[in-house]
Every structure is written in C-alpha cells, then in structure tokens.
Amino acid sequence: MKKIVSHIWPLTKRKTSKINGPLEVTWINGKKVLDSQNANYSYGALQKVLEYGLLQIEMQQVNELLILGLGGGSVIKSLQNRFNYQGKITAVEIDDTIIQIAKDEFDIKENKQLRIIHSDAIQYVNHCKKCYDLIIVDIFIDHTVPESFYDQKFWSSLNQLVKLGGYIIFNAGIFLEDTSKIAPIKSILEPNTICKQHNKVEGVNTLLIGNKVM
C-alpha cells in the first residue's frame, strides 16, 4: 500500500544519527530512498553514480570486494541485481544508525555473501591483512567527503589492499571544484595503477577509478 500511495505523495520516516545528523527514509514514486539533510545517501542519484563506476570495470574479474561506507546498501543491491555479482562482500560503516536503517528499511543483512563491520574505515584499512579485487570508497558526512579520506597516508595504506589486476572506485565528491584534492591521490596510486577521473557523473559527482596493473 505504501508503495502505491507514494506515487501520489511521498511518505517519510525521520531518524537522527549522532554522526550524520537528520536522516529521512522516503517512499516516493514507488521507490524507497535514504537522504541526509542535503544529499541523497542511497537508492536515488547516488545509486546511479556508483553503477556508472561499476560499468567502467571488469566485474567478471571481481571475486571479493570491500565497500567503505555502507549507507543504505544501494550499491549492494546494484551488485546483486544489476551485475549478478555472486562473490564475497565486506562492508564497513562507522554509523550504527545507518547500519540499522540498512537492515530494517532496505533488508541489507549479513549472510554467507555479505559481512557488515561496524568500524571506522581508516582504522579498518590500517589493520586489514586481506586484499581485495575491488575496493569502493563512498564515504560522506551529509554531502561532504571527510578530509581524512583525501589524505595520502590513507591512500597509501588502501593501495596495499588491492590485488594485482584489482580496482578502486572512489566517490570523490559532489560538485568537486577543487580537483587539487585528487592529484595527490593519483600520485600515490599511479606508479602501479592506471587512474581515470570521471567528472560530473549524473551531473554532480566526481569518480576516481583505478586499475592496479603492477
């Protein structure tokens, strides 16, 4: 019934996170989305942005992947439904309210394929001993990527977790006019990684996509 009614007027459920502030889960035009105060968090434009990124890589080569920033889990739905991904997924999310929303509102729950870790992404990367075929970095507080995720030390550590032939997709920002933030990341990755910057994806987002070749 909610899905039908949402075609006439949106139905919204509001929650508050200590980390992300006000959050809204809204049924609109037959689809449920998660929004922060100023940006779409999951299942709206953001889902299309990350699907664009996934289309740029060889998904058939990916057997195990890491997602930093679970959000409502829309990228997991895309992987499973649009890309028919059957491999292992580890998703790291610092915000326990977001994790609960993903479970309760979008049916994103741990199973044999999916492991959800409640942790700070930087701490996870610094202590991780495992390598992945694909790492997706999609971390925002409201509409802003925290400065620590542009830091060269973070990217140096992250690069060590990418397998030879593997990929990185970094959702680098919304309306990111200061591209100088991307250049230091490329300088860390490019000795062994081919990097391509995609601007104005879905009109607003900047993606950095890397393929580790040596």
Q: What per-residue confidence (pLDDT) applies to 197? A: 95
Task: State the average pLDDT over residues 81-106.
Answer: 96
Return the pLDDT at 7.
40
pTM, whole model, 2 decimals? 0.90
Percent of the chain with pLDDT over 90: 72
- 7-21, 41-55, 169-183: range with lowest mean pLDDT: 7-21
Residue 41: predicted pLDDT: 67
Q: What is the mean pLDDT of residues 132-151?
A: 95
**Does the pLDDT of residue 111 top 60, yes or no?**
yes
Is residue 199 within 8 A of residue 163, CB to CB? The reply is: no
pLDDT in the model for residue 37: 84
Higher pLDDT, 139 or 37: 139
Distances (CA, A) of 112 to 75, 100, 138, 185: 17, 19, 23, 34
Q: What is d(CA 196, CA 174) in angstroms, rounded to the nearest whole number?
A: 17
Class of domain 44-212: alpha beta
Q: Where are the chain's structural domains? A: 44-212
